[in-house]
Structure 1
Amino acid sequence: MEITSITESHLSQCAAIMIDAYNAPPWNCQWTSEKAHQYLAELIDHKDFVGFIIYDNNEPAGAILGHKKTWWTNSQLMIDELFVSPASQKKGCGKKLLQYCEDYAGTNQIELLVLMTNRYLPVYNFYEMMDYTLADQYVFMFKQLNL
């Protein structure tokens, strides 16, 4: 497996992986190619973007995208997305991407990796297995607007 930094040239590969991953169970989203490209381009365009794509047998298999963030206590790497194609899941791609981010953080004086996930889906157990801690004091809130 090979991991490389994401650039705009990887956008189509990342969008294809994301659609493949998120439109399948358990997520069952309905990402279109246009929306996936737009969403990922917004992440890549962030001035403090950090992202990596993993290849398995020279085929794009997964990606992790985030951004550096300054906080009063330390520097953070906010992981916005981590996805692995269904065909490449359970092969260690997600673990390798997270470890690569940890190594990147250590090299760049980033002391904390932060992410948000769904407690009721299997990926929650994956993050626990990778030693991520549930922060009970934080909640994710939203308000649906009727447009």
Structure 2
Amino acid sequence: MILPITLDNLNENIELYVSVFNEPPWEDNWTFEKAERRFLDLLHTPRFLGFSYYHNEELVALAAGNCEEWSDGELFYLKKMCVRPNMQGQEIGTRLLSYLAAHLQERGVMYSYLLTLQEGQAASFYAKNSYKKDLNTVFMLHKLKK
């Protein structure tokens, strides 16, 4: 079952996100409070769209982002996606991305894009699901001094 992410189910989505990204290979240091701020920012972004994937009434995956205007149509920026590690490899992420893509197509969205590490499991997963590296774009980062 796939349901929209709302304030009603936000906490369980945050808990899933923290549990997934604090484990290998990411080994981040998310606390519930930090992730909650991040998710609330996203949830309150204009044209937010997010979905929760439930298997046997247990939340096992999520995908969330927001639509943005572009010169030739609307884009969707997929900012968050994860699948519970013990559920990976069962096509759950692929089904969730397919559901999201169908929903976006119904809305007339032209493209979906995301940022992820160049190498590794996530990049391979997205490539398998028709995402391609855009050779015309570069991700640039400016580290600000403390």
TM-score of Structure 1 vs Structure 2, range by shorter chain: over 0.9
Residue equivalent to 2:90: 91
- In the alignment, the residues of structure 2 paired with residue 106 and residue 35 of structure 1 have an alpha-carbon distance, to the nearest angstrom, of 32
Q: Is the contact made by 1:49 and 1:66 (CA closer than 8 Å) also made in structure 2?
A: yes
Partner Cα distance (1:9, 1:88) in 2:
24
Query: Residue 3 of structure 2 aligns to which amino acid in structure 1?
Result: T
Which residue identity is paired with 1:103? Answer: A
Q: Which amino acid aligns with 1:50?
A: L
| Structure 1 residue ranges without an equivalent (≥5) | none
Q: Give the gaps of 5 or more residues in structure 2.
A: none
State the match for 1:29 in structure 2: 28
Letter in 1 for 2:40: A
* Residue in 1 that maps onto 2:113: 114
Shift of 1:131: 1.1
Cα distance in 2 between the residues matched to 1:81 and 1:51:
9
Question: Matches of 2:117 and 2:84 in 1, distance apart?
Answer: 18
Could you say what secondary structure the match of 1:21 adopts? helix
Classify the secondary structure of the residue corresponding to 1:27: coil
Aligned-CA RMSD value: 1.0
Query: Which segments of structure 1 move beyond 2 Å, counting only runs of 4 or more?
Result: none
User: SS state of the match for residue 75, structure 1?
Assistant: strand
Cα distance in 1 for partners of 2:20, 2:89 equals 13
Which residue of structure 1 lines up, in the alignment, with residue 54 of structure 2? 55
Could you state the TM-score of these two structures normalised by the residue count of structure 2?
A: 0.96
Contact 1:20 1:86 in 2 (8 A): no
What residue is the counterpart of 1:38 in the other structure? Answer: 37
Say whether 1:8 aligns with 2:7: yes
In structure 1, the residue matched to 2:64 is 65
Using the TM superposition, give the Cα deviation of residue 34 of structure 1 relative to its aligned residue in structure 2, in angstroms: 0.4
Deviation at 1:87, TM superposition (A): 2.0
Matched residue SS, 1:78: strand
Partner Cα distance (1:112, 1:60) in 2: 27
In structure 2, give the amino acid aligned to 1:67: N
Secondary structure, in 3 states, of the residue corresponding to 2:39? helix
Number of positions where the alignment pairs a residue of Structure 1 with one of Structure 2: 146
